[in-house]
Chain A
Amino acid sequence: MASPAIATDRPLAVAILAMGGQGGGVLADWIVAMAEGAGWVAQSTSVPGVAQRTGATIYYVELIRARDGAHPILSLLPVPGDVDVVIAAELMEAGRAIQRGLVSPDRTTLIASSHRALAVPEKAAPGDGITDPTDVLTAANGLSARFLCADMQYLAERAGSVISASLFGALAGSAALPFPRAAFEDTIRASGIAVAASLRAFAAGFDAIEAPEIVPPKPTPPPAPIFGREQDRAALDRALERIATFPAEARAMLRTGLARVIDYQDVAYGHEYLDRLDTLRPLPDAALSEAARFVAVALAYDDVIRVADLKTRASRFDRVRREVAARPDQLVSTVEFMHPRVDEVCGTLPRRLGAFIEGSPMLVRALRSVVDHGRRMRTTSVAGFLPLWLIAGLRRWRRALLRHEREMAHVEAWLTVVRHHMNHDPALALEVLKCRRLVKGYSDTHMRGQSKFDRVIGAIPLLAGRADTADWVRRLRDAALVDEAGVALEGALATVRTLDA
């Protein structure tokens, strides 16, 4: 038989990668409705299933200008290397699109929201588990025909809408589909749901692609004016003069650290902070800056007084209102979730009394039955605020409390190790300083952190005399931040033990 006339026209292919709940289906429906409205034939498919419960999912749309009396056969699956527009509703999803081969340098307009929705493992790491997105940006820039990227989530939120609307705007702005802006907007109007907000977000998305909004880098805040009582001023000025005697590279961190410990306790505490740093002056400049950071963190340890202080400040009340986006005509009341334990109570007692109670199992039991349970305190009511305010006021006696004694002993032991190594192995001294990062959290978390810290520091004698001791301490610290139970740390420690054998 004769060869049939094989037409060469091809449909436009659009793939949308989204997470369940992001409205990828709405976006696909809008594209279909717009195309049909313009006399095109459109076909969309999706595989929602369980992926709609927060998982990654893909919607696929093909569009072709209609022909009289003919029905196009459109694909239900994207063809890798043959997709015109890829829309990623999150930055890593753009990476996933590239991995699936949907993005090609000769064809694909890649529109991505630059915001991150962190995956659970990124969030759950005890340390910093956030993935560096540079790989995705590099691949997206290098391997797409056009890469258009802006924070569509932020633009949508600012417009009181959702990301599907700002992405639809970005699609319009990209001019990747042969439909005018009005056709997009009419589609939103025809949907009849939250039209005004959707159109605002649409416009924001459109403009972000047309003329990317350059977000200026946050200006570094100018040093705030110093205020306080007259008698403190002189001491404060002296502290600032002391900072000026340190190497220039360390001064910014010293100032931050000083501000923290003064805010934590008082100006005298600031001087104690600088006294400790004085003993670390032999460290190289960069290490001294790290020392300024970690000594401040160690001195401003998280205790009951600190928490009560932070929770009762006026600035905190304002911040909560901002965070919950309360309008001026709305009232906000705040409930805190506290679970004090015997440890915290004893730590907040004068050192002898605290230690005495801790030494008596009977007293501990009695105290536990009284204090050790969850408490909810409404800090916006006087009855809830006052106890916390009073606890915050214990600050002036903090130096006499049991917890303070223990913390200072721990700090001293730590800095002794630092000082011991800072002359012959400054790199090791720096790594020991950085181990302070392991000590954080409250109650069990704090104990676990301290135990990891102690195990890492305790391994140093095993590594003594090696040229790469500092490297090993860094490795141990990184391992300690991988998982909560310390499995990775134990593995690393086992390796360290075999090193010596």
Chain B
Amino acid sequence: MAERSFAREVQDLKLAVGEEFRGEGILAVTKALLQSGVGYVAGYQGAPISHLMDVLSDAQGIMSDLGVHFEFSASEAAAASTLAASVMYPIRGAVTWKSTAGTNVASDALSNLSSGGVTGGALIVIGEDYGEGSSIMQERTHAFAMKSQIWLLDPRPNLPSIVAAVEHGFALSEASNTPVMLELRIRACHVHGSFICKDNQKPTYTLAEALENPVTDVNRIVLPPASFMHEQDKIKRRWPAAVEYIRRNGLNETFDGDIADLGIILQGGMYNGVLRALKLFGLADIWGNTRVPLHVLNVTYPLIDEDLAAFCRGKRAVLMVEEGQPDFIEQALNAILRRAGVDTALCGKDVLPMAGEYTADALIDGLGKFLDRHAPELDRARPPSAAPVLSDPRVQALARTVPARPPSFCTGCPERPIFSAMTLVQKELGAHHIACDIGCHLFAINPPFNLGATTMGYGLGPSSASAFNVPARKRAISVMGDGGFWHNGLVTGIGNAVFNKSDAVTVIVDNHYSAATGGQDILSSRATSPDRSTQHPIEDAVRGIGATWVKRIDRTYDVAKMRDTLRLALTTAVRGPKIVIASSECMLNKQRRERPLFNAAVKRGERRVKPKFGIDEDVCTGDHACIRLSGCPSLSVKRSDDPLKLDPVAVIDETCVGCGNCGEVAEAAVLCPSFYRADVVHNPNAMDRLLDRVRTRVIGWLQRRREAGRVALA
């Protein structure tokens, strides 16, 4: 079950011709796929494209009515390979993932796919995870397009343009027998807007027809001599065919302006930002009118040499707005202009930053420098600037006041106790090399745990510790989530460790979902799913691949057991990889599932018990050792009303979900007795009430007896 339900959005997929779709950019893509007669969709979840996967997953009914096959792929490599169905058969297929992380994983299949070429339209929807909000290394998908000759679309970030890019993407792919990537930046994925729908199309040729009428052609297989033929075909036939399609259909757009001797060439995704910068200089307006001519590359690869040369010819100067590094397009543009004998001055990364997101500030600054240099006489407005405010000493003082707030484990997260236990073990055995992975568990690198040395990629935690397979007084620890485990960690991590007789310790964090990407089901999910086969235990898999020292902990909140198991794994004389599987359900998903059921039961008058943790303020001494072993958002500190206490005391707020970690940590670490758990009994039954009356009477008598002897002065 995904973190968010898309029941309402699924209804939008049924919208008919002429109706208006309103919603996020990435959801517009789902509708556009169905309008394009897509035959199959596959992908691997991850921000910013998780919602695309989640909506299609929730839309099984509509998909099967249309005859569209949908898969949650095991990895991006699996997703990319799925496109093989479009190699021989005229079936449109789409796959999706976050990039460049996912494209890295997929690139083996992508290289093979693009070498042989495709018959049916093959569209790769790329969530370009770049700039603010990104969770991965800052790289460009553009490089993959260039090296494999895959066409790259970068539409203007509005819903009609994105939808058109999907539709043209399939057609371009078919016209040039080449897979096409559609790049959507984070904000474009999450932009709210609207477009006018078309009817959904059933695929013209189905997967079943293909299966029943197989076609083979040895020339499509990447093996000599065909592979040499493919390279020539890419350049001599597919490229010109793509250029022809792009020009004929006007995929790139030119917006004229009266200042004809200047121009800006930009990636489609930069359009809104560039237009806003121009508007703030008084050179454009909010309705899309511009005084400086614009040439918008909705296709950023391949470039159309003739169009670019034509746009630049006769101009004093042109600014190239290309986000990310290196400056692939600008370099190409320089060569294009030189070959065409166009001597227009070209600005780009000399006025704009070479690296980093093109924020409003960066664009305003770069455009200003460009105008200063090439049109100093131009009458222009002064854009707003935060510079005076930012140089104010009152703002600079904020640098020491405003705290960094990196992402962290949610309230009640079952992964927190794993790292509490790891902290306790390290207090006993000293610091260890800890190899991290991708997933929520990576938040352990942040305060309060500060655990972890490296992260090499999804499912690569154990293999990133594989060099440390030498005799030493300490063993390496690696951490991997269940998502990474099924993505590739079973083989690259566990299989690799078994085969190479590694002695290292691997902790597999099993929270029942691919939790960091939004709670999608995976092989080991506990839920039953009508569409997927789940409930395949990780323990069976690691034993199946040859691991023998395997400990499973089915309640990660048992900090003492977790600590003892880790200690044993680090100290046992047994040779070979030590695998600890730490299992407890992602609290975010658990709460989302259970809270409505709990509330409904209470409303019906059924007896239900809700645990919540608290702290006895007068027992807490304000040392905060509990927080250093937890960091739970619901566990905080507050100033004490007690004038004798100078340091703030710990406090648990109303968001506590009663996971139990606080009590377990206090117990295991022998912290302090301030914590208590209060079990609130909703709709108590007669037995509860009777017992409570008896207890209250006895305890009340004892309490009154003691109070009578007490002298009080307040």
Contacts and interface: CB of A to CB of B under 8 A. Distances in A.
B401 A48 contact: no
Contacts of B619: 302, 307, 310-311
Interface stretch (A101-109, A402-410, A423-431, A468-476): A101-109
A236 B714 CA distance: 12
B271 interface: yes
Nearest to A224: B714
Interface stretch (B99-107, B272-280, B472-480, B538-546): B272-280
Nearest to B274: A73
A120 B676 contact: no
A288 interface: no
A267 B621 CA distance: 24
Interface string A140-157: 001100000000000001
Interface stretch (B172-180, B234-242, B298-306, B356-364): B356-364
B678 A324 contact: yes
B386 A7 contact: no
Contacts of A325: 654
B186 A49 contact: yes
Q: Which 4 A-B pairs have the closest CB atoms?
A: A47-B133, A101-B386, A228-B711, A374-B667
Contacts of B276: 73, 75, 77, 79
A224 B272 contact: no
A305 B665 CA distance: 22
B324 to A, nearest CB: 16
Interface stretch (B83-91, B142-150, B199-207, B442-450): B442-450
Contacts of A481: 647
Q: Of residues B47, B158, B401, B681, which shows the largest number of chain A Cβ atoms within 10 Å of its Cβ?
A: B401
A82 to B, nearest CB: 4
Contact of B395 (A36, A43, A67, A139): A139
A331 B681 contact: yes
A122 interface: yes
A81 B392 CA distance: 14
A341 B623 contact: no
B670 interface: yes
A416 interface: no
Interface residues of A, number: 158
A374 B668 contact: yes
A59 to B, nearest CB: 9
A143 B392 contact: yes
A44 to B, nearest CB: 4
Interface string B600-616: 00000000000010101
A177 to B, nearest CB: 17
B616 A443 contact: no
23 contacts: A6-B289, A10-B279, A20-B407, A43-B192, A50-B516, A54-B405, A72-B287, A73-B276, A73-B286, A96-B402, A98-B398, A107-B384, A120-B448, A124-B448, A126-B624, A130-B639, A307-B619, A311-B619, A314-B707, A326-B680, A335-B677, A339-B667, A440-B623
Given A334-B677, A440-B621, A101 B389 contact: yes
B408 A53 contact: yes
Interface in A115-143: 117-133, 135-136, 138-139, 142-143
Contacts of B210: none
A333 B692 CA distance: 9
B667 A55 contact: no
B273 A296 contact: no
Interface stretch (B32-40, B65-73, B697-705): B697-705
Interface size class of B (residues with CB under 8 A): 35 or more
Given A311-B673, A445-B672, A92 B403 contact: yes
Interface string A316-337: 1100100111100111111111
A176 interface: no
A73 B398 contact: no
B284 interface: yes
Contacts of B353: none
A129 B364 CA distance: 39
B384 A135 contact: no
A317 B654 CA distance: 18
Interface stretch (A351-359, A361-369, A378-386): A378-386
A169 interface: no
Given A47-B187, A123-B631, 14 more contacts: A6-B285, A7-B286, A54-B405, A54-B633, A73-B271, A95-B401, A101-B389, A135-B400, A260-B644, A267-B711, A330-B682, A333-B678, A381-B695, A392-B706
Contact of B618 (A79, A101, A310, A382): A310
A489 interface: no
B407 A331 contact: no
Contacts of B623: 126, 440-441, 445, 449
Given A53-B443, A484-B628, A307 B673 contact: yes
Contacts of B709: 229
Interface string A3-25: 11111111100000001110000
Contact of A82 (B132, B384, B560, B667): B384
Interface string B363-390: 0100000000000000000011111011
A118 B389 contact: no
B350 interface: no
Interface string A435-450: 0010011111100010
Contact of A81 (B359, B386, B680, B694): B386
A118 B405 CA distance: 9
A332 B680 CA distance: 5
Nearest to A104: B389
Contacts of A445: 621, 623, 625, 671-672
A56 interface: yes
Interface stretch (A203-211, A250-258, A274-282, A491-499): A250-258
A487 interface: no
A223 B330 CA distance: 78
Given A99-B402, A124-B631, A441-B621, A55 B407 contact: yes
A262 B275 contact: no
Contact of B627 (A2, A77, A123, A255): A123
B589 to A, nearest CB: 13
Nearest to A133: B401
A259 interface: yes
Contacts of A29: 192
A190 to B, nearest CB: 13
Q: Of residues A76, A81, A157, which shows the largest number of chain B Cβ atoms within 10 Å of its Cβ?
A: A76
Contacts of A381: 695
A438 B682 CA distance: 43
A275 B430 CA distance: 47
Interface string A58-100: 1000001001001111111111111000000000100110111
